[in-house]
A and B are shown apart, each in its own frame.
Chain A
Amino acid sequence: MTEEKPLDFTREITSRLGGETITHCYQCGTCASTCPVARTTERYNPRQLIRLALLGQRDEVLKGDTIWLCASCYNCQERCPQKVEVADVIYALRNMAIREGNVPAIYMEFATGLMSEGRLAPISKFLEKKRTEYGLPPLKPANVEALKIILAATGFDKIMFKKEGASP
């Protein structure tokens, strides 16, 4: 268990882009009742996730898999009577989790695709051929060099590709 007080974790969340509104929550449960994922599985409940975060349960929130089960559909955010930006709060929590090494494999794939091709779905030789057959213009290459400069300036490359053995 961490020695941290609940409010320390809350302050950390509200100071991040996307996390600003978490303290408005009064636990009405509108988010959970409108959530397509919560209706499908007991593994996910946005109301509980917000409560755990506000109680300072840092490890449970950032090291578990709950935060990765949001489908980013924004139903919760749209309907929250307290204007908690629930989906954005979850992005903020994910951003924090990634920095602490909780990186699901699929997100590492996304980041690798972005860094190397400038796209999340690189084009195959088959599709290039198909495009020509259909009379579609060749796909213009992404400016990967400019993108790499931006990713270095925001620290994205370091967040995702820490050297083996380096401290977090």
Chain B
Amino acid sequence: MTSYALFLGCTIPARQPHYELAARKALTKLGIELVDLEGATCCAPPPIQSIDLETSLAIAAYNICLAEEADLNILTLCTGCFESLTIANRLLKENRELREKINKILSNAGKEFKGTKEVKHYLQVLMDDVGVNHLKQNVVKPLNNLNVAAFSGCHLLRPSELLRFDDPERPRIFDTLIEVLGAKSIPYKNKLRCCGGLLRGYADDIALAIARDKIVNAYNAGADCISTLCPFCFLTLDLGQMLIKTTYKEEYNLPIIHYAELLSLSIGVEPKELALDFHKIKVDKVLEKIG
């Protein structure tokens, strides 16, 4: 059994337990052991990077230190955490001057970044540790050609120079993992474009206009659902449709489903074992189509 330090971040455990629940069930079922780290903090995502980049690196490095001490690689669910932690891990491993600077800060808290561990998104764990073939063998309830609009979110892919997850212009990993479950990953306009989520709270009108584009493009392409990996994309597109209804007087009712939920359903987790009532846009149509 492969073990990872599960880095939950802030939003998933406190706002989207349906994501955490599905991910824990699916990954455990596929033979991945998840260890909860003691004392982990916020990963220092873009809002904190906007205040001070050096502080953000120090906070991310602190959390990586916790995994180094536990002798475990890190597994993230949230793409925001994946980005913050991966950038810090790569920069500090590859830039000695910066590492020394950050370690000087960390020494005040009794920590030292050694650069001995990897940060992985759970899709990488599915590809590398579980493997596509083994995953395929575990699919007991194929998703019946469900039309899925894959939306990885920006920070799984970009900045590609540091994240090195997939080809940033023609990514295939997420689509492959959707199709292994028996669904179709459909093409749609501006698939790789941002959801606007990070502008929520500062420029809500612009954020909503960008989110609406995403919904409209997936809807027009005949999607049964949009599948997400990032809790902010989920929020922006799921709750966003309620706001689109009041602001634009348009109703799409397009279910937004975290990939971990689709994965769980396909490998035999019953819908009632998941927390599907946390979706603002109900997923009943998707469940019906899967059968």
Residues of A within 8 A of B (CB): 16-18, 36-37, 40-41, 43-44, 68-69, 71-75, 77-78, 85, 87-88, 91-92, 94-95, 98, 104, 106-107, 109-111, 114, 118-124, 127, 130-131, 134-137, 139-144, 146-147, 149-156, 159-160
Contact A150 B55 (CB under 8 A): yes
Q: In the bound complex, what is the Cα–Cα distance between A130 and B36 (angstroms)?
A: 19
B14 x A73 contact (CB < 8 A): no
In the assembled complex, which residues on chain A have CB atoms less than 8 Å from the CB atom of B283?
none
Which residues of A are found within 8 Å of B193, using beta-carbon distances?
A: 36, 73, 75
| In contact, A149 and B109 (Cβ under 8 angstroms) | yes
Q: Are B51 and A123 in contact (CB under 8 A)?
A: no
> Could you give 13 example pairs across A and B, Cβ below 8 Å?
A18-B53, A40-B213, A41-B203, A68-B202, A71-B196, A72-B46, A88-B53, A127-B17, A140-B36, A142-B42, A146-B62, A147-B59, A150-B62
Given contacts A41-B209, A78-B168, A114-B42, 9 further A-B contacts (CB under 8 A): A72-B198, A75-B154, A110-B48, A118-B42, A127-B14, A134-B275, A136-B13, A149-B109, A150-B109
Chain B residues with CB under 8 Å of chain A are: 8, 10-11, 13-15, 17, 20-21, 24, 36-42, 45-55, 58-59, 62, 105-106, 108-111, 154-155, 158-160, 168-169, 193-194, 196-199, 201-203, 206-207, 209-210, 213, 275
Check if B51 sits within 8 Å of A159, measured CB to CB: yes
Please classify the interface of chain B as helix (H, G, I), strand (E, B), loop, or mixed, using the class held by over half of its residues.
helix
* A contact residues around B51 at 8 Å (CB): 94-95, 98, 107, 110-111, 156, 159-160
Considering the chains assembled together, what is the distance between the CA atoms of A132 and B96 in angstroms?
44
CB distance from B262 to the nearest CB of A (A): 18
Given A77-B159, A136-B24, CB of A91 within 8 Å of CB of B14:
no
Q: How far is the CA of A36 from the CA of B217 in the complex (A)?
A: 14
The residue in chain A whose Cβ has the minimal distance to the Cβ of B209 is A40
Which residue of chain B lies nearest to A149 when distances are taken between CB atoms in the complex? B109
Say yes or no: B41 contacts A69, CB within 8 Å.
Answer: no
Name the CB-closest residue of B to A142: B41
B residues in contact with A154, CB < 8 Å: 52, 54-55, 58, 105
Complex formed: what's the CA distance from A81 to B108 in Å? 41
Contacts of A123 in B (CB 8 A): 13-14
Report B-chain residues with C-beta under 8 Å of the C-beta of A147.
41, 59, 62
B250 to chain A, nearest CB (A): 16
